[in-house]
Structure 1
Amino acid sequence: MGDAYLRYSFTYGTENEVDCLYDVLGLKPGDRILDVGCGPGRHSHLFAEREIDVLGIDISNEFIKLASDEKSKANFLRQDVREMDFEDEFDAVISMCQGGFGLLCDPESSIQNPDMDLRALENMARALKPGGKLALSAFSSYFQIQYLSDNDSFDALNGVNREDIEIMNTRGEKKAAVTWTTCFTPRELRLMSQKVGLVVKNIWSVTPIEYKLLPCDIENPEFLLLAEKATQ
């Protein structure tokens, strides 16, 4: 799955995403950032090239191995965001493409437990230094409902989208799979952020691949939340 992940179209915009994050987070060489749900390290490696001190975490052993195999100054650790205990350590935390937020659900447990994402957000907030910033992407409920495909079903009570997909490994072998993704409105992201002690600076809709920041709309699949940890 690791190599196959990099063939998905949404990964083609990685450089644009990093450019955007570097700007909105106000990063500078030497800053320390935590990449939550880093996958194979596609963002972490590019930040490291800019002399950012990066730690990428992911729950997947396969992704961490793939990320660590790259020649890069970024560091990687297998870690579940719901269990991490960093405190006041990072200048910035990023969680992109639902790597550590919004995918913490499955039909057996998390759909019945909406606190999973809140716990993840709380741990990200704790990891930030006072005044540190969080950039987090989340799927848009507005978009998902408006453009619901034949392969999807939307649980309106819990805001969870179920999608039947087909994945292919490096040998070209295909396998059916199901994804469960929690979707959000800007209001929900704002309320959750406030609950864990974050001050929301902005919420945008973002365009796929180009990663342009737009006022919140119903035409784009993701929101980008920018929030700051209070200094007191």
Structure 2
Amino acid sequence: TPELPATPDPEAPRAAEAAPETAAAPAETTSAGEPAGDSEMQGLVKELLEEKKAKAQGPRTKRLRPRDVWFQEVFSEEYLRTIPASIGERTEQEVEFIRKSLKLKRGSRILDLACGFGRHAIGLAEEGYEMVGVDLSMPLLQKALADARQRSTNVKFIHGDMRELNFNEVFDGCYVWDTSVGYFDDRTNLRVFQGIQRALKPGGRILVDVINRDYVVRETPTRLWWEGEGCIFLEESEFDFQTSTLHAKRSFIYEDNSPPLEQNSYIRLYNVHELRQMLHVAGFNVLEISGERFTRGYFLGASSRRVIVLAEKRARKDTM
């Protein structure tokens, strides 16, 4: 099974449940009491009146577009069918990369943020680390807990939103793997890093793995297919240069002739400069950048499929 640059990894989290949309306002007239001349003007007047009403009533729930909440549909029981048979071998290699990068002694407490079904957390727990996994997808967490019990491994799995971390200097290290950063807008993605910074002890380390924007730009649009559990997947992806967002449309075709299913994902991709700058603003010093898990410490620009950044929590007196 290919490692797909356009595909959210099974380890990635769902975001928080979307707030319900507010009821649409009734048809309005212009301030002079006359109907607007066309549909565009009517829409504009409607927006102005709603804005005026919102200011008078106080804060309102933000109306979310479908592309802002795609993760509510993707990370479900259905998503577990996409896990490739070769995931075990890949996990062993990634666990080794994470362990060597963080360079933490056995017994250190590590946060697996967006832990999914816990494949890395379980592997590191077996290496002697105290592991905590946080994810918002209950189906993935249930599988993680079942797998940990089957392997007699102790991992604390927490059902939570990566945007709302409330830990304070309790972890020696943290990793966010397989492009679990980028589901939100830039301000929210920064807030995630700031939450991690608060959760780490002084000198704590973070390892972030994302798809390299510069690599994806050269490779898209793409069309790929592969086999899953009782179904075949077709994935088509394209890159939006205005927003640096990768849009992937995945179609499920089932062997039992069940109705096909279609899902969409929208991920904000970062290049190495943007990711480095965001980590700096969040309070980290970058220590090392890699382009692949098997070429640690080497980054080859647009030729590297990944941007894997190792950073350390900056001391308060360190302003550089």
Instruction: State the match for 1:128 in structure 2.
Output: 200
Structure exhibiting the larger radius of gyration computed from Cα positions:
2
Residues 86/169 of structure 1: CA separation in 2 closer, same or farther (3 Å cut): farther
Displacement after TM superposition at 1:68 (Å): 1.0
The correspondence for 2:251, drawn from 152, 160, 166, is 166
Do residues 156 (structure 1) and 241 (structure 2) align? yes
- Gaps of at least 5 residues in structure 1 are 106-112
Instruction: State the match for 1:181 in structure 2.
Output: 267
What SS does the corresponding residue of 2:280 show, helix, strand or coil? helix
Instruction: State the match for 2:229 in structure 1.
Output: none
TM-score normalised over the length of structure 1: 0.87
The correspondence for 1:83, drawn from 164, 169, 175, is 164
Quote the RMSD (CA, aligned, Å): 2.2
Displacement after TM superposition at 1:11 (Å): 6.7
Displacement after TM superposition at 1:14 (Å): 1.1
The correspondence for 1:67, drawn from 144, 159, 168, is 144
Instruction: State the match for 1:110 in structure 2.
Output: none
The answer to whether the 8 A contact 2:113-2:175 is kept is yes
Displacement after TM superposition at 1:153 (Å): 2.0
Distance between the aligned counterparts of 2:100 and 2:165, measured in 1?
27
Distance between the aligned counterparts of 2:256 and 2:189, measured in 1?
34
Residues 147/188 of structure 1: CA separation in 2 closer, same or farther (3 Å cut): same
Equivalent position amino acid for 2:133 in 1: G
Q: Which one has a larger percent strand, Structure 1 or Structure 2?
A: 1
CA distances 1:180-216 after superposition (whole Å, capped 9, x unpaired): 1111111101110110110111111115xxx432323
Instruction: State the match for 1:32 in structure 2.
Output: 109
Equivalent position amino acid for 1:147 in 2: E
What SS does the corresponding residue of 2:268 show, helix, strand or coil? strand
Residues 12/157 of structure 1: CA separation in 2 closer, same or farther (3 Å cut): farther
Residues 168/231 of structure 1: CA separation in 2 closer, same or farther (3 Å cut): farther
Displacement after TM superposition at 1:170 (Å): 11
The correspondence for 2:218, drawn from 146, 154, 168, is 146
Residues 154/90 of structure 1: CA separation in 2 closer, same or farther (3 Å cut): same
The answer to whether the 8 A contact 1:138-1:222 is kept is yes
What SS does the corresponding residue of 2:111 show, helix, strand or coil? strand
Displacement after TM superposition at 1:221 (Å): 2.3
Displacement after TM superposition at 1:167 (Å): 4.3
Instruction: State the match for 1:98 in structure 2.
Output: 179
Distance between the aligned counterparts of 1:11 and 1:162, measured in 2?
28
After the TM superposition, which of the residue ranges 149-158 and 129-138 deviates more from structure 2?
149-158
The answer to whether the 8 A contact 1:4-1:169 is kept is no
Distance between the aligned counterparts of 1:9 and 1:160, measured in 2?
28
What SS does the corresponding residue of 2:249 show, helix, strand or coil? strand
Aligned length: 220
The answer to whether the 8 A contact 2:221-2:239 is kept is no
Distance between the aligned counterparts of 1:149 and 1:181, measured in 2?
15
What SS does the corresponding residue of 1:121 show, helix, strand or coil? helix
Distance between the aligned counterparts of 2:195 and 2:252, measured in 1?
31
Structure with more relative contact order (C-alpha pairs < 8 Å, separation 6 or more)? 1
Identity %: 25
Residues 133/167 of structure 1: CA separation in 2 closer, same or farther (3 Å cut): farther
Equivalent position amino acid for 2:246 in 1: N
What SS does the corresponding residue of 1:206 show, helix, strand or coil? coil
Equivalent position amino acid for 2:300 in 1: C
Instruction: State the match for 1:203 in structure 2.
Output: 289
Residues 32/156 of structure 1: CA separation in 2 closer, same or farther (3 Å cut): same
Instruction: State the match for 2:46 in structure 1.
Output: none
Distance between the aligned counterparts of 2:198 and 2:119, measured in 1?
24
TM-score normalised over the length of structure 2: 0.64
The answer to whether the 8 A contact 2:237-2:249 is kept is yes
Instruction: State the match for 2:80 in structure 1.
Output: 3
The answer to whether the 8 A contact 1:4-1:168 is kept is no
